[in-house]
Amino acid sequence: MDVPAKVQEIYAEVLRRNPGEAEFHQAVHEVLESLAVVLGRHSEYAEMKTIERICEPERQIIFRVPWQDDAGEVQINRGFRVEFNSALGPYKGGLRFHPSVNLGIVKFLGFEQVFKNALTGMPIGGGKGGSDFDPKGRSDAEVMRFCQSFMTELYRHLGEYTDVPAGDIGVGAREIGYLFGQYKRITNRYESGVITGKGLGWGGALVRTEATGYGAAFFADAMMRARGESFDGRRVVISGSGNVAVYGIEKVHQLGGTVVACSDSSGYVVDESGIDLEVLKQVKEVERARIAEYADRVDGAHFVSRGSIWDVPCEVAMPSATQNELDGGAARTLAQNGCQYVVEGANMPATPDAVALFRAAGIGFAPGKAANAGGVATSALEMQQNASRDRWTFEHSEARLEEIMRGIHARCHETAEEYGAPGDLVLGANVAGFLEVAEAVHAHGLI
């Protein structure tokens, strides 16, 4: 069988085994498209069904999460943990609490995580988890009771050498605290390395909070430098106003760009003089309020409740909210408005149509599995500090993050050239990540 037919066959089998999981199919398809060139050079991976094995999670856990709300009413949510691949180290990947969470979404995120973690060069496998619980509008006491119930089942699957979760959408410092507290209580172990994103006073690492956003900005900077350009004086739009977006904005400003718009699920704000971070952090991090509040407090800023943030003209777009938030129509608008770079801060925020359009238009495109790897890389640095009972300075941690992100860019760039697709960072990231995982999978025998 020729290589493209083999890849088609693998994809057909993934569709058959995982019905109805659209996001998982999309993530697998994007990777498989890049892997034909690898199978052409490595027949052993075809013989040993290495790709097929990597597409099948090692373990999938689904559980009931019962809890009581403040009114005393019983609530039932569903918890997930997909332990996707441990060839390179313990499963590592965040927990997402959002009403949209289902098995297909967790599997897409876990699958992406495997390659992302490999690209960091750190010894971490890939996994992901979460729940359809919505923390929005819930009191701290309700969030705590939910987290305690969630961990009461999840703890038996975790361990610093087994599976190490972190945050993602809807899971920030507050949730990590409640989850860690319950793990410690059940196991009677102060196992710092069992979860990352911890508070600074109890095992957390400096720069972990900033890492994903900062890392995406460093990656974008590396991409621009490869073309002899920089952030200096550029108009940037970043969607979202959560962890990734806020610190993406901070670093873009430090690198000389101006972020003129950001958003949440209720709409977007435009501030031509550059987003005022102090106000944004107060609204989103402290008050957990809606983004419209920003426009109410900043002169010259305005809020748009309908339409798309991608209508705002920019030279650099960094989608940093959620999957499939930037479709073909939005991509066309960005291209027409002169956008030159698109850097995924979120996981898979651009649809396949959008990615195809960017590549055809010669717009520099950075896939999330490379550009947003700074968060998990810094989580691995947190585990390293926990293991050695050490604490690094902010400057040292940030320098390590920058070095890792520039290294990931170089690796994707070089791999793309080596495999005959110069400048194609999607192919570069998929092939480089796959080769790292595949070699370890192969070495471990048929398990």
- Catalytic positions, written as ranges: 128
Nearest distance in Å: CB 184, ligand NAP: 22
CB of 288 to ligand NAP, least distance (A): 8
Options 118, 195, 238, 244; binder of ligand NAP; rule CB under 6 A? 244
Residues 353-412 that bind ligand NAP (CB under 6 A): 372, 375
- Residue 169 Cβ, how far from ligand NAP at the closest point, in Å? 4
Listed ranges 3-11, 41-49, 243-251, 253-261: which one lies at the site for ligand NAP (CB under 6 A): 243-251
With CB under 6 A as the contact rule, the residue among 139, 265, 273, 336 that binds ligand NAP is: 265
* Closer residue to ligand NAP (CB): 170 or 203: 170
Q: Is 347 in the site for ligand NAP (CB under 6 A)?
A: yes
Query: Which residue's structure tokens are 């993050």?
Result: 401
Dihedrals phi, psi of 372, to nearest 5 degrees: -105, 20
Count CB atoms within 10 A of the CB of residue 8: 14
Which strands make up the sheet holding 74-85, listed edge to edge?
A: 59-68, 74-85, 126-131, 91-97, 163-166
Size, binding site for ligand NAP by CB under 6 A: 22
Task: Check residue 110 for interaction with ligand NAP (CB under 6 A).
Answer: no
Residues numbered 160-199 forming contacts with ligand NAP, rule: CB under 6 A: 167-170
126 lies in the site for ligand NAP, by CB under 6 A: no
- Which positions from 202 to 241 touch ligand NAP by CB under 6 A, shown as an x/- string? ----------x---------------------------xx
Cβ distance to ligand NAP smaller for residue 170 or 428: 170
List the one residue from 50, 86, 182, 322 that touches ligand NAP (CB under 6 A): 322
243 lines the binding site for ligand NAP (CB under 6 A): yes
Q: Supply the minimum distance, in Å, between the C-beta of residue 346 and ligand NAP.
A: 3
Q: Which two tokens stand for residue 395?
A: 């400057």
Which two tokens mark 38? 């690898």
CB of 372 to ligand NAP, least distance (A): 4
* Window 270 to 309, contacts with ligand NAP (CB under 6 A): none
Q: For residues 137 and 233, which CB has a smaller minimum distance to ligand NAP in the complex?
A: 137
Cβ-proximal residue to ligand NAP, closest one:
242
Q: Judged by CB under 6 A, which stretch of 2-10, 148-156, 264-272, 350-358 contacts ligand NAP?
A: 264-272
> Rule CB under 6 A: is residue 428 a binding residue for ligand NAP?
no
Nearer to ligand NAP, 156 or 288 (CB): 288
Q: Please identify, among the stretches 48-56, 70-78, 242-250, 417-425, the one whose residues bind ligand NAP according to the rule CB under 6 A.
A: 242-250
Encode the chain in three state secondary structure.
CCHHHHHHHHHHHHHHHCCCCHHHHHHHHHHHHHHHHHHHHCHHHHHCCHHHHHCCCCEEEEEEEEEECCCCCEEEEEEEEEEEECCCCCEEEEEEECCCCCHHHHHHHHHHHHHHHHHHCCCCCEEEEEECCCCCCCCHHHHHHHHHHHHHHHHHHCECCCEEEECECCECHHHHHHHHHHHHHHHCCCCHHHCCCCCHHHCCCCCHHHHHHHHHHHHHHHHHHHCCCCCCCCEEEECCCCHHHHHHHHHHHHCCCEEEEEEECCEEEECCCCCCHHHHHHHHHHCCCCCHHHHHHCCCCEEECCCCHHHCCCCEEECCCCCCCECHHHHHHHHHCCCCEEECCCCCCECHHHHHHHHHCCCEEECHHHHCCHHHHHHHHHHHHHHCCCCCCHHHHHHHHHHHHHHHHHHHHHHHHHCCCCCCHHHHHHHHHHHHHHHHHHHCCCC
Nearer to ligand NAP, 21 or 42 (CB): 21
Identify which of residues 104 and 375 has a Cβ nearer to ligand NAP in the complex. Answer: 375
The distance of closest approach from Cβ of residue 231 to ligand NAP in the complex, given in angstroms and rounded to an integer, is 20
Residues forming the site for ligand NAP (CB under 6 A): 167-170, 212, 240-245, 264-266, 320-322, 345-347, 372, 375
